[in-house]
Homo-oligomer: A and B are copies of this chain.
Amino acid sequence: MGLISPDEYKASLVDGRVVYYKGEKVENVVTHPDLGVCVNEMAIDYEMAEDPKYGDLAAMEDPETGETISRYYYKPQNAEDLLKAHELIVKATELGDGYIPLAHDIGADALNAINITANMIGNQDYIDRIENYRKELQEKDLATCAGVTCVKGDRMLRPSDPEQAHPDFYVRVVKKNNKGIVVRGAKMHITGAAYCNDIFVVPCRAMTDADADYAVSFAIPANTKGIKQVCRPFISQRSPLEFPNTRPVRVHTDSLIIFDDVLVPWERVFLCGEWKHAATMVYNFALMHRRTGCAYRIPLSEQFVGAGVAIAEYNGIAGAPHVREKLTDLVIYLETLKSLSKTACYDFVMRGGLAVPNPIATNMAKYHFAHNYHDVIKIIQDLAGGLVVTAPTYKDYQHPELNEVIDKYLVANKNVSAENRLRMVDLIRRITRAEMETICLHGEGSPMAERMTIYMEAGKVMKDCQRLAEELAQIKR
């Protein structure tokens, strides 16, 4: 086989999966008026591979088999591989108007995390299974996602703590038989799960001995019996109150996934009881996934810089000193993100036989993005001014009694029409919404999660520096 077409991808989704949306069961995610928009977004990944302009980036020849495979499913070996993958995510997100298509990347993060963990455990069964599964993914070009965050219950308690209201807050093995394992529990915040083929499940925290049943990782088709998804509603169409725009709406949705005693065949089980390695797996996933996160936020950050620069010009304030200061801060935000993301590739480390992005730089990049995001939003809103809230709508603009006065009165910079100013205000309203703030804070882990990782990974740096200070102070210990 090899790479599949966008249509083949879409056809594959009509498979009996159980998805709820606004309280109703969805018959067909592809033709559903809202979910279909997300399907189109995910299909960008397949379009890119077919596009002569991007094919070399999105696909590559497997050095072992000579087959053409998605670059996402290739095992990175060096800085160049990581930089290429980085570039691919950035470009794909650009094509998605700031939304990463997601057909393979989060899945690939899970695939690599499982691969590394299997190598580190040294369990040949797991090594073979994940290797076989990687081959299958390469051959069938499946869309995959990763189910990581369990619903957790009381976060201060371990999964198996009897103080938990019930034992199912973390996905766990409730039965094993010769066919496979039976799992129960729920994962939440799972972007793209409603319109991908397979779901990787990995644990979301460190475990103890008592939590062994929760130390479980596997891959499973989204239409497997017992899997039920609930998607959060979202806006899939432009409002008629906005100025018309022919670009397709780009958006994703997230699923709450219920695993109601789901059977997973053994050949798709990659961790089952080895509680000591749960932390390794989630740790590696987080590392690779935060790298993904930083890459896809570069085009988003470029939108912010662009919207800020544009509205400053349109509002006729680009020359004011404090406006120049704000634009400079936007540039610093973007360029810091780019620098840290690329440093993560240049200063990669090897883990379990794969090249992984530098853990400190990766976590710093993601932390930088999230920690300073609200400041960026504040700057954009500061530059844009009250019109974001009070501007007349396109409906008003069309009204014969109002069209002329709006054109007359809502000009600021006389080289920019009122219409163009209102169009930019429409864009700013779309890209600075609160929902995105939460996504940017919490996607790929909260800022605190990144800080903790930086602290942990920086152990060596800190010890080296301490030794330096002790030498200067002539301290002998």
Look across to chain B and name the residue whose beta carbon is closest to the beta carbon of A377.
B374
A361-393 CB mask vs B (1 if < 8 Å, else 0) is 100100110000111011001101111111111
Q: Does A424 contact B (CB under 8 A)?
A: yes
Main SS of the interface on chain A? helix
Look across to chain B and name the residue whose beta carbon is closest to the beta carbon of A413.
B154
| Cα-based distance from A253 to B305 in the complex (angstroms) | 30
A153 → chain B closest CB, angstroms: 6
Copies in the complex: 4
Q: Does A51 contact B (CB under 8 A)?
A: no
Assess A412 versus B153: contact at CB under 8 Å? Given A374-B378, A392-B256: yes
Which residues of chain A in 296-346 are interfacial with respect to chain B, using CB atoms and an 8 Å cutoff?
299, 302-303, 305-307, 309-310, 313, 315-317, 319-322, 324-325, 327-328, 331-332, 334-336, 338-340, 342-343, 346
A412 touches which of B154, B393, B439 (Cβ 8 Å) = B154
In the complex the two chains form, is B321's CB within 8 Å of A336's CB?
no
A143-175 CB mask vs B (1 if < 8 Å, else 0) is 000000101111110000001111011000000
A381-419 CB mask vs B (1 if < 8 Å, else 0) is 110111111111101101101100110111111101000
Assess A381 versus B420: contact at CB under 8 Å? Given A254-B390, A327-B462, A451-B328: no
Total chain A interface residues with beta-carbon distance under 8 A: 143
In the complex the two chains form, is B466's CB within 8 Å of A309's CB?
yes
Assess A340 versus B332: contact at CB under 8 Å? Given A389-B435, A409-B186: no
| Cα-based distance from A438 to B447 in the complex (angstroms) | 24
Which residues of chain A in 216-261 are interfacial with respect to chain B, using CB atoms and an 8 Å cutoff?
228, 230, 232-233, 241, 243, 245-247, 254-256, 258, 260
A256-270 CB mask vs B (1 if < 8 Å, else 0) is 101010000000000
In the complex the two chains form, is A233's CB within 8 Å of B393's CB?
yes
In the complex the two chains form, is A309's CB within 8 Å of B462's CB?
yes
List of B residues within 8 angstroms of A343 by Cβ: 338-339, 342-343
A346 → chain B closest CB, angstroms: 7
11 A-B contacts (beta carbon < 8 Å): A20-B396, A154-B412, A166-B408, A256-B390, A309-B462, A313-B466, A335-B364, A378-B441, A382-B448, A433-B434, A434-B434
User: Which 10 residue pairs are nearest across A and B when measured between Cβ atoms?
Assistant: A23-B395, A306-B469, A306-B465, A321-B321, A305-B465, A427-B473, A339-B343, A254-B390, A374-B374, A165-B414
